[in-house]
Amino acid sequence: MELFKTPNIDFLSKRRIFLAISGFLVLLSILLLFIKGPKYGIDFLGGTLLHIHTDRDIKTSDLRNALSEIKLARAEIQEITLREHIIKYYENIEADSLVKFLNKKLKLNIEIERAEKVGPRVGFELRLRAIYAVLIGMVLMLIYIAFRFNLPFGVSSIIALFHDVMITLGVFVLFSREITVPVIAAFLTIVGYSINDSIVISDRIRENLKKRQGKFIDIANRSLNETLSRTIITGGTTLLVLIVLLFLGGPLLFDFALALLIGIIVGTYSSIFIVAALVVEYEEIKMKRMRRR
């Protein structure tokens, strides 16, 4: 299916503007990481997540007042419905004991839908493993792209991957969204999705370099136009599914869907405006050096 029959958009003439915008957003994300810092979830800090269902409506303020009596005033309470809540706390209190207390205090009948407890040590190890997983994934992608194409394409693709993950992470830090294991899974999915799109465009550039004569920038522009329909359709259909998941998936899937939604948008943008632009910059620097000799 062709969304655009014969597109002829000059993507690369304004490449330095897009590279500057991307560089600014990545720098801003890094500054946010150091100044504000990510908000880690219980998965990485250690604590208890308790998903409860009550037999009658209960306000969040009533739950908080009850929890403050047992020194759980810092607990995070997320209201799903008036009869369904998620309580997150970091104190060493068993979930069963807490539910018994709330039943007695609020005269409720509470059912535990889900209870997860993570120790601080396990949380720290999970945080390290998550960082290793993302870094190892990017290094393996670099090796694969460098082997399949060449090193400039490989390095450009990895810079684009770093760009996609950092901007998504920066949005999460900016809006104080929790970094949890599902969000890390979303980051790894973004890495896989973005590299797939970059491979399609890089493959078309390689094919056109064999078939056509001319400047590298013109061939790269032609290749971006030829793959534009595929890029937009793939990204658009994926976004439709993610929007449905975002609004209907409930609070437990919200952050996962949000990370993927941001990552797919940024990944589609970087596939079109960043990867080929970086390779063009490399080729121009190489040509200038050859002329000087």
DSSP string spanning 65-95?
HHHHTTT-TT-EEEEEETTEEEEEE-SS--H
Give the distance, in angstroms, between the CA of residue 20 and the centroid of all CA atoms in the same chain.
21
Torsion of CA 214, 217, 220, 221, to 10 degrees: -100
Mean pLDDT of 25-54: 88
Joined together, the tokens standing for residue 88 give 């997150």
* pLDDT at 3 (0 to 100): 64
Mean pLDDT of 288-293: 78
* pLDDT at 4 (0 to 100): 66
Judged against a pLDDT cut of 70, whether residue 53 lies above it is answered with yes
Mean pLDDT of 55-65: 87
* pLDDT at 123 (0 to 100): 65
Instruction: Write down the mean pLDDT value for the chain.
Output: 85
Question: How far is residue 232's CA from residue 1's CA, in Å, rounded to a whole number?
Answer: 11
Judged against a pLDDT cut of 90, whether residue 17 lies above it is answered with yes
DSSP 3-state assignment of 58?
coil
Residues 6+ apart with CB under 8 A from 281: 15, 19
Judged against a pLDDT cut of 90, whether residue 174 lies above it is answered with yes
Phi, then psi, of 46 in degrees rounded to 5: 90, 140
Tens digits of per-residue pLDDT, 178-211?
888 888 888 888 888 888 888 888 888 888 888 8
Query: What percentage of the chain exceeds 90 in pLDDT?
Result: 18
Tens digits of per-residue pLDDT, 238-283?
899 999 988 888 777 888 899 999 999 999 999 889 988 998 998 8
* pLDDT at 7 (0 to 100): 76
Judged against a pLDDT cut of 80, whether residue 25 lies above it is answered with yes
* pLDDT at 215 (0 to 100): 86
CB neighbourhood size of 210 (10 A)? 7
Residues facing 49 on adjacent strands: 88, 116
Question: How far is residue 80's CA from residue 230's CA, in Å, rounded to a whole number?
Answer: 38
